[in-house]
Amino acid sequence: MRHGSIEKRNPDPLYAEQVRLLYENAPLAYTVTLINGAILGYIQLAFIPIAVVLAWYGCLLFVTAFRVLVTWRYGRVKRSADEARFWNIVYSIGAAVAGIVWGAAGWVLFPLDSIAHQVFVAFVLAGMAAGGVSVLAPRMEACLAFLLPALLPLAIQYLTLRTPLQTAMGVMTLIFLAAMSFSAWNFHRVIRTSLHLRFDKQELEAEVTRRQRAEERLFQEKDRLQTTVSSIGEGVALIDADGRIEYINPAAEQLFGQRCEHVLHRPPNEMFECFDDQGERIATALEDSLHSATPQRKQYVLYGKDKAKYVVEELATPLLDRLGKLVGAVSVFRDVTEAQKFTEQLIHAADHDVLTGLPNRNLLTDRTKQAIARAHRKHESFALLFVDLDQFKAVNDTMGHACGDALLIDVAKRLTDCVRAEDMVARLGGDEFVVLLDGPTHRRHVEAVANKILHTLREPFQLGAGSATISGSVGCSLYPHDGRDVDSLLGRADAAMYRAKQMGRNQKA
Ligand SMILES: Nc1nc2c(ncn2[C@@H]2O[C@H](COP(=O)(O)OP(=O)(O)OP(=O)(O)O)[C@@H](O)[C@H]2O)c(=O)[nH]1
Protein backbone atom coordinates (compact mmCIF):
# COMPACT_ATOMS: atom_id res chain seq x y z
CA MET A 1 0.00 0.00 0.00
CA ARG A 2 1.19 3.51 -0.70
CA HIS A 3 1.20 4.64 2.97
CA GLY A 4 4.05 2.37 3.97
CA SER A 5 6.01 3.34 0.95
CA ILE A 6 5.60 7.01 1.68
CA GLU A 7 6.75 6.60 5.29
CA LYS A 8 9.79 4.69 4.13
CA ARG A 9 10.49 7.16 1.41
CA ASN A 10 10.03 10.27 3.47
CA PRO A 11 9.54 9.49 7.18
CA ASP A 12 10.53 12.78 8.78
CA PRO A 13 7.68 14.97 7.54
CA LEU A 14 5.15 12.46 8.88
CA TYR A 15 6.86 12.23 12.26
CA ALA A 16 7.21 16.00 12.43
CA GLU A 17 3.51 16.38 11.60
CA GLN A 18 2.57 13.98 14.46
CA VAL A 19 4.67 16.04 16.87
CA ARG A 20 3.14 19.24 15.54
CA LEU A 21 -0.35 17.83 16.26
CA LEU A 22 0.72 17.11 19.87
CA TYR A 23 1.72 20.73 20.36
CA GLU A 24 -1.31 22.03 18.52
CA ASN A 25 -3.66 20.22 20.95
CA ALA A 26 -1.61 21.22 24.00
CA PRO A 27 -3.25 24.58 24.98
CA LEU A 28 -6.68 22.95 25.35
CA ALA A 29 -5.17 20.11 27.39
CA TYR A 30 -3.38 22.54 29.73
CA THR A 31 -6.55 24.58 30.27
CA VAL A 32 -8.63 21.47 31.06
CA THR A 33 -5.83 20.23 33.35
CA LEU A 34 -5.83 23.39 35.45
CA ILE A 35 -9.64 23.61 35.64
CA ASN A 36 -10.15 19.93 36.45
CA GLY A 37 -7.27 20.00 38.94
CA ALA A 38 -8.80 23.03 40.68
CA ILE A 39 -12.26 21.39 40.87
CA LEU A 40 -10.78 18.11 42.16
CA GLY A 41 -8.70 19.89 44.79
CA TYR A 42 -11.62 22.02 45.86
CA ILE A 43 -14.00 19.03 46.19
CA GLN A 44 -11.46 16.90 48.06
CA LEU A 45 -10.86 19.71 50.61
CA ALA A 46 -13.78 18.19 52.53
CA PHE A 47 -11.58 15.23 53.48
CA ILE A 48 -8.03 16.15 52.51
CA PRO A 49 -5.96 18.73 54.38
CA ILE A 50 -5.66 22.02 52.47
CA ALA A 51 -1.87 21.89 52.64
CA VAL A 52 -1.89 18.55 50.78
CA VAL A 53 -4.37 19.83 48.21
CA LEU A 54 -2.36 23.05 47.68
CA ALA A 55 0.91 21.10 47.43
CA TRP A 56 -0.61 18.80 44.82
CA TYR A 57 -2.18 21.65 42.86
CA GLY A 58 1.10 23.57 43.12
CA CYS A 59 2.87 20.62 41.51
CA LEU A 60 0.23 20.52 38.80
CA LEU A 61 0.65 24.28 38.23
CA PHE A 62 4.40 23.97 38.11
CA VAL A 63 4.37 21.08 35.62
CA THR A 64 1.72 22.79 33.47
CA ALA A 65 3.69 26.05 33.51
CA PHE A 66 6.78 24.13 32.33
CA ARG A 67 4.75 22.51 29.54
CA VAL A 68 3.23 25.88 28.54
CA LEU A 69 6.76 27.27 28.33
CA VAL A 70 7.91 24.36 26.15
CA THR A 71 4.83 24.73 23.92
CA TRP A 72 5.42 28.47 23.58
CA ARG A 73 9.07 27.85 22.68
CA TYR A 74 8.08 25.20 20.15
CA GLY A 75 5.75 27.71 18.52
CA ARG A 76 8.50 30.32 18.30
CA VAL A 77 11.47 28.41 16.93
CA LYS A 78 11.89 27.62 13.29
CA ARG A 79 11.72 23.85 13.39
CA SER A 80 13.27 21.45 10.97
CA ALA A 81 12.01 17.91 10.52
CA ASP A 82 15.27 16.68 12.11
CA GLU A 83 14.40 18.42 15.39
CA ALA A 84 10.99 16.74 15.68
CA ARG A 85 12.48 13.93 17.78
CA PHE A 86 13.82 16.39 20.35
CA TRP A 87 10.47 18.17 20.64
CA ASN A 88 8.67 14.82 20.93
CA ILE A 89 10.94 13.71 23.79
CA VAL A 90 10.45 17.03 25.61
CA TYR A 91 6.69 16.81 25.15
CA SER A 92 6.58 13.16 26.25
CA ILE A 93 8.58 13.99 29.38
CA GLY A 94 6.07 16.79 30.15
CA ALA A 95 3.16 14.37 29.58
CA ALA A 96 4.82 11.75 31.81
CA VAL A 97 5.39 14.25 34.63
CA ALA A 98 1.80 15.50 34.28
CA GLY A 99 0.65 11.85 34.39
CA ILE A 100 2.66 11.32 37.56
CA VAL A 101 1.06 14.39 39.19
CA TRP A 102 -2.41 13.18 38.20
CA GLY A 103 -1.53 9.67 39.34
CA ALA A 104 -0.41 11.14 42.67
CA ALA A 105 -3.96 12.44 43.05
CA GLY A 106 -5.05 8.78 43.21
CA TRP A 107 -3.07 8.55 46.46
CA VAL A 108 -2.84 11.96 48.08
CA LEU A 109 -6.34 13.20 47.20
CA PHE A 110 -7.93 9.78 47.79
CA PRO A 111 -9.89 9.96 51.10
CA LEU A 112 -10.22 6.61 52.79
CA ASP A 113 -13.40 7.63 54.62
CA SER A 114 -15.54 8.76 51.66
CA ILE A 115 -16.42 6.33 48.93
CA ALA A 116 -18.08 9.17 46.99
CA HIS A 117 -14.91 11.26 47.00
CA GLN A 118 -12.90 8.21 46.05
CA VAL A 119 -15.22 7.70 43.09
CA PHE A 120 -14.90 11.40 42.25
CA VAL A 121 -11.11 11.04 42.09
CA ALA A 122 -11.56 7.98 39.86
CA PHE A 123 -14.07 9.89 37.72
CA VAL A 124 -11.73 12.85 37.25
CA LEU A 125 -8.73 10.63 36.51
CA ALA A 126 -10.78 8.59 34.00
CA GLY A 127 -11.89 11.82 32.35
CA MET A 128 -8.35 13.10 32.21
CA ALA A 129 -7.19 9.75 30.77
CA ALA A 130 -9.93 9.82 28.11
CA GLY A 131 -9.10 13.45 27.28
CA GLY A 132 -5.40 12.58 27.22
CA VAL A 133 -6.03 9.86 24.64
CA SER A 134 -7.66 12.32 22.24
CA VAL A 135 -4.89 14.89 22.75
CA LEU A 136 -1.86 12.58 22.87
CA ALA A 137 -2.83 9.90 20.33
CA PRO A 138 -0.66 11.40 17.53
CA ARG A 139 2.37 9.85 19.34
CA MET A 140 1.88 6.60 21.27
CA GLU A 141 4.89 7.12 23.54
CA ALA A 142 3.46 10.46 24.73
CA CYS A 143 0.08 8.84 25.21
CA LEU A 144 1.39 5.92 27.31
CA ALA A 145 3.76 8.25 29.20
CA PHE A 146 0.63 10.02 30.48
CA LEU A 147 -1.89 7.14 30.79
CA LEU A 148 0.21 4.67 32.80
CA PRO A 149 1.38 6.98 35.62
CA ALA A 150 -2.07 8.68 35.72
CA LEU A 151 -4.18 5.51 36.21
CA LEU A 152 -1.89 2.82 37.66
CA PRO A 153 -1.55 4.44 41.14
CA LEU A 154 -5.37 4.65 41.45
CA ALA A 155 -5.77 0.99 40.45
CA ILE A 156 -3.12 -0.06 42.96
CA GLN A 157 -4.76 2.11 45.63
CA TYR A 158 -8.12 0.43 45.05
CA LEU A 159 -6.63 -3.04 45.00
CA THR A 160 -4.78 -2.47 48.27
CA LEU A 161 -8.03 -1.56 50.09
CA ARG A 162 -9.32 -5.12 49.55
CA THR A 163 -13.08 -4.53 49.92
CA PRO A 164 -15.03 -6.18 47.11
CA LEU A 165 -16.22 -2.79 45.80
CA GLN A 166 -12.79 -1.22 45.87
CA THR A 167 -11.16 -4.36 44.42
CA ALA A 168 -13.73 -4.22 41.64
CA MET A 169 -12.95 -0.54 41.17
CA GLY A 170 -9.23 -1.38 41.01
CA VAL A 171 -9.80 -4.11 38.45
CA MET A 172 -12.09 -1.86 36.42
CA THR A 173 -9.48 0.91 36.52
CA LEU A 174 -6.95 -1.55 35.08
CA ILE A 175 -9.45 -2.63 32.41
CA PHE A 176 -10.17 1.04 31.70
CA LEU A 177 -6.42 1.66 31.40
CA ALA A 178 -6.11 -1.22 28.93
CA ALA A 179 -9.18 -0.02 26.98
CA MET A 180 -7.83 3.53 26.88
CA SER A 181 -4.45 2.27 25.67
CA PHE A 182 -6.17 0.21 22.98
CA SER A 183 -8.35 3.18 21.94
CA ALA A 184 -5.27 5.36 21.91
CA TRP A 185 -3.55 2.87 19.58
CA ASN A 186 -6.59 2.77 17.27
CA PHE A 187 -6.88 6.54 17.33
CA HIS A 188 -3.16 6.79 16.68
CA ARG A 189 -3.53 4.54 13.61
CA VAL A 190 -6.46 6.60 12.32
CA ILE A 191 -4.38 9.76 12.68
CA ARG A 192 -1.43 8.15 10.93
CA THR A 193 -3.63 6.91 8.10
CA SER A 194 -5.19 10.32 7.61
CA LEU A 195 -1.75 11.92 7.67
CA HIS A 196 -0.55 9.40 5.10
CA LEU A 197 -3.53 10.23 2.92
CA ARG A 198 -2.87 13.92 3.35
CA PHE A 199 0.79 13.46 2.35
CA ASP A 200 -0.26 11.25 -0.55
CA LYS A 201 -2.70 13.91 -1.67
CA GLN A 202 -0.13 16.68 -1.32
CA GLU A 203 2.39 14.61 -3.23
CA LEU A 204 -0.16 13.84 -5.93
CA GLU A 205 -1.20 17.48 -6.13
CA ALA A 206 2.44 18.53 -6.38
CA GLU A 207 2.98 15.91 -9.10
CA VAL A 208 -0.12 17.04 -10.96
CA THR A 209 1.02 20.67 -10.71
CA ARG A 210 4.51 19.68 -11.89
CA ARG A 211 3.08 17.82 -14.86
CA GLN A 212 0.65 20.62 -15.67
CA ARG A 213 3.53 23.10 -15.66
CA ALA A 214 5.67 20.78 -17.78
CA GLU A 215 2.74 20.31 -20.17
CA GLU A 216 2.19 24.07 -20.25
CA ARG A 217 5.87 24.62 -21.00
CA LEU A 218 5.73 21.98 -23.72
CA PHE A 219 2.68 23.64 -25.27
CA GLN A 220 4.36 27.03 -25.12
CA GLU A 221 7.52 25.64 -26.69
CA LYS A 222 5.48 23.86 -29.35
CA ASP A 223 3.53 27.06 -30.07
CA ARG A 224 6.73 29.08 -30.27
CA LEU A 225 8.32 26.50 -32.54
CA GLN A 226 5.20 26.28 -34.70
CA THR A 227 5.04 30.07 -35.03
CA THR A 228 8.74 30.24 -35.86
CA VAL A 229 8.56 27.44 -38.40
CA SER A 230 5.38 28.94 -39.92
CA SER A 231 6.85 32.39 -40.27
CA ILE A 232 10.31 31.66 -41.65
CA GLY A 233 10.94 32.21 -45.33
CA GLU A 234 12.48 28.78 -45.87
CA GLY A 235 10.28 25.78 -46.52
CA VAL A 236 10.29 23.13 -43.79
CA ALA A 237 9.06 19.56 -44.21
CA LEU A 238 8.96 16.70 -41.76
CA ILE A 239 8.62 13.00 -42.54
CA ASP A 240 8.05 10.11 -40.15
CA ALA A 241 10.05 6.90 -39.86
CA ASP A 242 7.99 5.37 -42.71
CA GLY A 243 9.00 8.22 -45.01
CA ARG A 244 5.55 9.84 -45.01
CA ILE A 245 5.02 13.56 -44.74
CA GLU A 246 3.96 14.74 -41.30
CA TYR A 247 4.13 18.47 -41.82
CA ILE A 248 5.07 21.17 -44.29
CA ASN A 249 5.13 24.87 -43.38
CA PRO A 250 3.46 27.66 -45.38
CA ALA A 251 6.72 28.51 -47.20
CA ALA A 252 7.02 24.88 -48.34
CA GLU A 253 3.33 24.91 -49.36
CA GLN A 254 4.06 27.88 -51.57
CA LEU A 255 7.25 26.38 -52.99
CA PHE A 256 5.70 23.02 -53.84
CA GLY A 257 2.29 24.43 -54.69
CA GLN A 258 0.67 21.93 -52.31
CA ARG A 259 -1.41 22.43 -49.18
CA CYS A 260 -0.14 20.69 -46.06
CA GLU A 261 -3.38 18.70 -45.61
CA HIS A 262 -3.11 17.36 -49.17
CA VAL A 263 0.38 15.96 -48.73
CA LEU A 264 -0.01 14.54 -45.25
CA HIS A 265 0.90 10.83 -44.88
CA ARG A 266 2.14 10.64 -48.48
CA PRO A 267 5.74 10.01 -49.57
CA PRO A 268 7.57 13.18 -50.69
CA ASN A 269 8.42 11.79 -54.15
CA GLU A 270 4.70 11.46 -54.89
CA MET A 271 4.24 15.11 -54.15
CA PHE A 272 7.37 16.82 -55.39
CA GLU A 273 9.01 15.74 -58.59
CA CYS A 274 12.67 16.66 -58.39
CA PHE A 275 15.03 16.59 -61.37
CA ASP A 276 18.79 16.81 -61.60
CA ASP A 277 20.76 18.88 -64.16
CA GLN A 278 20.24 16.22 -66.78
CA GLY A 279 16.49 16.18 -66.23
CA GLU A 280 16.59 12.80 -64.48
CA ARG A 281 14.06 12.23 -61.70
CA ILE A 282 15.83 12.05 -58.31
CA ALA A 283 14.83 11.50 -54.66
CA THR A 284 14.64 14.40 -52.23
CA ALA A 285 17.39 14.86 -49.64
CA LEU A 286 14.65 14.19 -47.07
CA GLU A 287 14.25 10.60 -48.30
CA ASP A 288 18.01 10.11 -48.70
CA SER A 289 18.57 11.39 -45.20
CA LEU A 290 16.00 8.97 -43.77
CA HIS A 291 17.50 6.02 -45.63
CA SER A 292 21.12 6.84 -44.83
CA ALA A 293 20.45 8.29 -41.33
CA THR A 294 22.92 11.05 -42.19
CA PRO A 295 22.46 14.73 -43.10
CA GLN A 296 22.06 15.32 -46.84
CA ARG A 297 22.30 18.42 -49.02
CA LYS A 298 20.95 18.59 -52.56
CA GLN A 299 20.16 21.07 -55.24
CA TYR A 300 17.59 20.21 -57.87
CA VAL A 301 14.94 21.51 -60.16
CA LEU A 302 11.24 21.19 -59.52
CA TYR A 303 8.17 22.52 -61.22
CA GLY A 304 5.52 24.39 -59.26
CA LYS A 305 1.78 24.19 -59.84
CA ASP A 306 2.15 27.11 -62.25
CA LYS A 307 4.62 24.90 -64.19
CA ALA A 308 7.30 27.45 -63.31
CA LYS A 309 10.78 26.00 -62.90
CA TYR A 310 12.34 26.39 -59.47
CA VAL A 311 15.84 25.60 -58.40
CA VAL A 312 15.67 24.35 -54.83
CA GLU A 313 18.43 23.76 -52.33
CA GLU A 314 17.48 21.24 -49.66
CA LEU A 315 19.27 20.43 -46.42
CA ALA A 316 17.89 17.36 -44.65
CA THR A 317 18.73 16.00 -41.21
CA PRO A 318 17.64 12.68 -39.72
CA LEU A 319 15.59 12.88 -36.51
CA LEU A 320 16.53 10.58 -33.64
CA ASP A 321 14.61 10.06 -30.41
CA ARG A 322 16.23 10.08 -26.96
CA LEU A 323 17.29 6.45 -27.39
CA GLY A 324 18.91 7.19 -30.72
CA LYS A 325 16.16 5.49 -32.75
CA LEU A 326 15.47 6.98 -36.16
CA VAL A 327 12.00 8.53 -36.05
CA GLY A 328 12.00 10.61 -39.23
CA ALA A 329 13.77 13.43 -40.97
CA VAL A 330 13.40 17.18 -41.31
CA SER A 331 14.32 19.32 -44.29
CA VAL A 332 14.81 22.98 -44.95
CA PHE A 333 14.14 24.05 -48.54
CA ARG A 334 15.41 27.24 -50.08
CA ASP A 335 14.29 28.64 -53.40
CA VAL A 336 17.62 29.48 -55.00
CA THR A 337 16.18 30.15 -58.46
CA GLU A 338 17.07 33.83 -58.36
CA ALA A 339 20.48 33.18 -56.80
CA GLN A 340 21.12 30.51 -59.43
CA LYS A 341 20.07 32.89 -62.22
CA PHE A 342 22.32 35.55 -60.78
CA THR A 343 25.25 33.12 -60.61
CA GLU A 344 24.59 32.04 -64.18
CA GLN A 345 24.44 35.69 -65.21
CA LEU A 346 27.77 36.33 -63.50
CA ILE A 347 29.33 33.33 -65.21
CA HIS A 348 27.80 34.43 -68.52
CA ALA A 349 29.02 38.01 -68.03
CA ALA A 350 32.56 36.80 -67.43
CA ASP A 351 32.56 35.07 -70.83
CA HIS A 352 30.30 37.27 -72.90
CA ASP A 353 30.13 40.73 -74.33
CA VAL A 354 27.57 42.90 -72.56
CA LEU A 355 26.38 44.81 -75.63
CA THR A 356 25.88 42.02 -78.15
CA GLY A 357 25.66 38.98 -75.88
CA LEU A 358 28.31 37.29 -78.02
CA PRO A 359 31.15 35.27 -76.44
CA ASN A 360 34.10 37.53 -75.55
CA ARG A 361 37.81 37.00 -75.94
CA ASN A 362 37.95 34.59 -72.92
CA LEU A 363 35.41 32.21 -74.32
CA LEU A 364 36.82 32.52 -77.83
CA THR A 365 40.27 31.60 -76.47
CA ASP A 366 38.83 28.55 -74.66
CA ARG A 367 36.89 27.37 -77.69
CA THR A 368 39.90 27.92 -79.95
CA LYS A 369 42.07 25.87 -77.60
CA GLN A 370 39.49 23.06 -77.70
CA ALA A 371 39.38 23.31 -81.49
CA ILE A 372 43.20 23.12 -81.64
CA ALA A 373 43.21 20.04 -79.39
CA ARG A 374 40.54 18.27 -81.39
CA ALA A 375 42.01 19.20 -84.77
CA HIS A 376 45.44 18.10 -83.57
CA ARG A 377 44.04 14.77 -82.40
CA LYS A 378 42.12 14.14 -85.59
CA HIS A 379 44.65 15.73 -87.96
CA GLU A 380 42.01 18.15 -89.14
CA SER A 381 41.83 21.89 -89.70
CA PHE A 382 39.68 24.83 -88.64
CA ALA A 383 39.66 28.57 -89.35
CA LEU A 384 39.49 31.95 -87.66
CA LEU A 385 38.00 34.96 -89.44
CA PHE A 386 38.92 38.37 -88.05
CA VAL A 387 36.16 40.85 -88.98
CA ASP A 388 36.60 44.61 -88.50
CA LEU A 389 34.00 47.13 -89.62
CA ASP A 390 35.15 49.79 -92.05
CA GLN A 391 34.87 53.39 -90.99
CA PHE A 392 32.60 52.53 -88.12
CA LYS A 393 33.68 55.67 -86.29
CA ALA A 394 31.75 57.66 -88.91
CA VAL A 395 28.49 55.97 -87.85
CA ASN A 396 29.11 57.00 -84.26
CA ASP A 397 30.05 60.48 -85.30
CA THR A 398 27.14 61.09 -87.66
CA MET A 399 24.31 59.09 -86.11
CA GLY A 400 25.30 58.97 -82.46
CA HIS A 401 26.72 56.33 -80.14
CA ALA A 402 23.32 54.67 -79.54
CA CYS A 403 22.91 54.05 -83.26
CA GLY A 404 26.49 52.71 -83.30
CA ASP A 405 25.48 50.29 -80.54
CA ALA A 406 22.39 49.20 -82.42
CA LEU A 407 24.48 48.59 -85.51
CA LEU A 408 26.98 46.48 -83.54
CA ILE A 409 24.12 44.39 -82.18
CA ASP A 410 22.76 43.90 -85.69
CA VAL A 411 26.24 42.99 -86.99
CA ALA A 412 26.49 40.34 -84.25
CA LYS A 413 23.17 38.86 -85.41
CA ARG A 414 24.10 38.91 -89.08
CA LEU A 415 27.46 37.26 -88.40
CA THR A 416 25.79 34.57 -86.32
CA ASP A 417 23.33 33.94 -89.17
CA CYS A 418 26.25 33.42 -91.54
CA VAL A 419 27.68 30.43 -89.68
CA ARG A 420 26.61 26.98 -88.43
CA ALA A 421 25.49 26.24 -84.89
CA GLU A 422 28.78 24.55 -84.07
CA ASP A 423 30.75 27.65 -85.13
CA MET A 424 31.29 30.60 -82.85
CA VAL A 425 31.04 34.36 -83.34
CA ALA A 426 32.85 36.42 -80.69
CA ARG A 427 33.27 40.13 -80.17
CA LEU A 428 36.77 41.16 -79.14
CA GLY A 429 35.75 44.78 -78.49
CA GLY A 430 34.95 47.94 -80.46
CA ASP A 431 34.02 46.92 -83.99
CA GLU A 432 36.20 43.78 -83.98
CA PHE A 433 34.61 40.35 -84.31
CA VAL A 434 36.11 36.89 -84.71
CA VAL A 435 34.38 33.93 -86.28
CA LEU A 436 35.62 30.45 -85.40
CA LEU A 437 34.72 27.96 -88.08
CA ASP A 438 34.91 24.75 -86.12
CA GLY A 439 35.31 21.29 -87.57
CA PRO A 440 37.13 20.21 -90.77
CA THR A 441 37.49 23.34 -92.88
CA HIS A 442 38.90 23.88 -96.36
CA ARG A 443 40.16 27.19 -97.67
CA ARG A 444 37.30 27.17 -100.14
CA HIS A 445 34.75 26.96 -97.42
CA VAL A 446 36.51 29.76 -95.47
CA GLU A 447 36.43 32.02 -98.47
CA ALA A 448 32.76 31.30 -99.02
CA VAL A 449 31.95 32.27 -95.43
CA ALA A 450 34.14 35.39 -95.71
CA ASN A 451 32.29 36.43 -98.85
CA LYS A 452 28.98 35.77 -97.14
CA ILE A 453 30.07 38.01 -94.28
CA LEU A 454 31.22 40.80 -96.59
CA HIS A 455 27.94 40.54 -98.40
CA THR A 456 25.76 40.63 -95.33
CA LEU A 457 27.64 43.60 -93.86
CA ARG A 458 27.00 45.60 -96.97
CA GLU A 459 23.27 45.30 -96.53
CA PRO A 460 21.88 48.60 -95.14
CA PHE A 461 21.33 48.80 -91.39
CA GLN A 462 18.01 50.22 -90.20
CA LEU A 463 18.92 52.43 -87.21
CA GLY A 464 15.90 54.14 -85.69
CA ALA A 465 14.53 56.65 -88.17
CA GLY A 466 17.56 56.49 -90.46
CA SER A 467 19.74 53.85 -92.01
CA ALA A 468 23.45 53.28 -92.53
CA THR A 469 25.52 51.35 -94.98
CA ILE A 470 28.95 50.12 -94.05
CA SER A 471 31.31 47.33 -94.97
CA GLY A 472 33.84 45.14 -93.27
CA SER A 473 37.31 43.76 -93.78
CA VAL A 474 37.96 40.09 -93.10
CA GLY A 475 41.28 38.39 -92.36
CA CYS A 476 41.49 34.59 -92.26
CA SER A 477 43.87 32.13 -90.64
CA LEU A 478 43.80 28.34 -90.90
CA TYR A 479 44.96 25.73 -88.44
CA PRO A 480 47.59 24.31 -88.70
CA HIS A 481 48.85 26.19 -91.73
CA ASP A 482 48.90 29.67 -90.11
CA GLY A 483 49.68 28.68 -86.56
CA ARG A 484 49.32 25.99 -83.92
CA ASP A 485 48.27 28.12 -80.96
CA VAL A 486 45.59 30.70 -80.24
CA ASP A 487 47.82 33.77 -80.31
CA SER A 488 49.48 32.91 -83.62
CA LEU A 489 46.17 32.08 -85.26
CA LEU A 490 44.53 35.28 -84.00
CA GLY A 491 47.64 37.31 -84.91
CA ARG A 492 47.66 35.91 -88.46
CA ALA A 493 43.95 36.61 -88.90
CA ASP A 494 44.38 40.14 -87.53
CA ALA A 495 47.32 40.78 -89.86
CA ALA A 496 45.31 39.45 -92.81
CA MET A 497 42.41 41.72 -91.87
CA TYR A 498 44.84 44.65 -91.72
CA ARG A 499 46.06 43.73 -95.22
CA ALA A 500 42.46 43.72 -96.44
CA LYS A 501 42.03 47.23 -94.98
CA GLN A 502 45.16 48.33 -96.73
CA MET A 503 43.89 46.83 -99.97
CA GLY A 504 40.97 49.25 -99.86
CA ARG A 505 38.62 47.67 -97.27
CA ASN A 506 35.42 45.69 -97.95
CA GLN A 507 37.40 42.60 -98.85
CA LYS A 508 38.94 39.47 -97.39
CA ALA A 509 42.56 38.41 -97.15
N1 LIG B 1 28.81 52.74 -80.62
C2 LIG B 1 29.88 52.12 -80.15
N3 LIG B 1 31.09 52.48 -80.63
C4 LIG B 1 32.18 51.82 -80.20
C5 LIG B 1 32.11 50.80 -79.23
N6 LIG B 1 33.37 50.36 -79.00
C7 LIG B 1 34.21 51.09 -79.83
N8 LIG B 1 33.49 51.96 -80.52
C9 LIG B 1 33.95 52.89 -81.52
O10 LIG B 1 34.29 52.19 -82.69
C11 LIG B 1 35.21 52.90 -83.42
C12 LIG B 1 36.27 51.97 -83.91
O13 LIG B 1 37.01 52.65 -84.80
P14 LIG B 1 38.27 52.02 -85.50
O15 LIG B 1 38.11 50.59 -85.69
O16 LIG B 1 39.48 52.46 -84.77
O17 LIG B 1 38.23 52.76 -86.83
P18 LIG B 1 37.17 52.70 -87.95
O19 LIG B 1 36.36 53.97 -87.85
O20 LIG B 1 36.34 51.48 -87.84
O21 LIG B 1 38.03 52.67 -89.16
P22 LIG B 1 38.84 51.45 -89.73
O23 LIG B 1 38.83 50.41 -88.76
O24 LIG B 1 40.15 51.97 -89.94
O25 LIG B 1 38.09 51.09 -90.94
C26 LIG B 1 35.75 53.96 -82.46
O27 LIG B 1 35.26 55.25 -82.81
C28 LIG B 1 35.21 53.61 -81.10
O29 LIG B 1 34.92 54.73 -80.29
C30 LIG B 1 30.84 50.46 -78.72
O31 LIG B 1 30.67 49.58 -77.89
N32 LIG B 1 29.76 51.13 -79.22
Q: What is the pLDDT of residues 233-291, one digit of tens each?
A: 899 999 999 999 999 999 888 888 888 888 899 988 877 788 998 889 998 899 999 99
Kindly give the number of the ligand 1 atom that is closest to the alpha carbon of 432.
15
- Mutational test site, ligand 1, from 356, 393, 398, 409, max ligand atoms within 8 Å of CB: 393
- Mutational test site, ligand 1, from 358, 387, 395, 396, max ligand atoms within 8 Å of CB: 396
Alpha-carbon distance values, 244 to 58, 240, 271, 274, 334 (Å) = 89, 5, 11, 17, 21
The percent of residues in the chain predicted with pLDDT above 90, rounded, is 75
Cβ atoms of 263 and 245 closer than 8 Å: yes
The percent of residues in the chain predicted with pLDDT above 70, rounded, is 97
3-state secondary structure of 333: strand
pLDDT of residue 466: 85
Q: How far is the CA of 429 from the centre of ligand 1 (A)?
A: 9
Mean pLDDT of 153-158: 95
Q: How far is the CA of 341 from the centre of ligand 1 (A)?
A: 32
For residue range 198-214, list pLDDT tens digits in order. 988 988 999 999 999 99
Question: What's the complex ipTM?
Answer: 0.96
Pocket of ligand 1 (CB under 6 A): 355, 388-393, 396, 401, 404-405, 408, 430-431, 501
For residue range 438-487, list pLDDT tens digits in order. 877 788 899 999 999 999 999 999 987 788 999 999 999 999 999 999 99
Length of the chain in residues, anyone? 509
Return the sign of the alpha-carbon dihedral for residues 306, 311, 313, 318.
positive
pLDDT of residue 3: 43
- Nearest CA residue ID for atom 11, ligand 1: 393
Kindly give the number of the ligand 1 atom that is closest to the alpha carbon of 394.
19
Rounded to whole angstroms, the Cα distance separating 195 from 192 reads 5
User: How do strand 432-437 and strand 424-429 relate by DSSP bridges?
Assistant: antiparallel
Mean pLDDT of 120-148: 95
- Residue 7 clears pLDDT 70, i.e. is over it: no
Cβ atoms of 217 and 312 closer than 8 Å: no
Q: Is the peptide bond before 111 cis (omega within 30 degrees of 0)?
A: no
Q: How far is the CA of 393 from the centre of ligand 1 (A)?
A: 5
Cβ atoms of 471 and 458 closer than 8 Å: yes
CA 193 distance to own-chain centroid: 43
- Please report how the helices 50-76 and 84-108 are oriented relative to each other, as an axis angle in degrees rounded to 10: 170
> Beta-carbon neighbour count of residue 99 at 10 Å?
27
The H-or-E segment that residue 466 falls in is strand 466-468
- Residue 1 clears pLDDT 50, i.e. is over it: no
- Nearest CA residue ID for atom 1, ligand 1: 404
Alpha-carbon distance values, 408 to 368, 384, 393, 456, 474 (Å) = 23, 20, 12, 13, 16
Mean pLDDT of 92-103: 97
How does DSSP classify residue 80? -
> Beta-carbon neighbour count of residue 275 at 10 Å?
14
For residue range 354-395, list pLDDT tens digits in order. 999 999 999 999 999 999 999 999 999 999 999 999 999 999
Which distant-in-sequence residues (6+ apart) come within 8 Å of 53 by Cβ?
A: 41, 42, 44, 45, 109
Q: How far is the CA of 437 from the centre of ligand 1 (A)?
A: 25
Q: How far is the CA of 390 from the centre of ligand 1 (A)?
A: 9
Q: How far is the CA of 417 from the centre of ligand 1 (A)?
A: 22
pTM for the model: 0.52
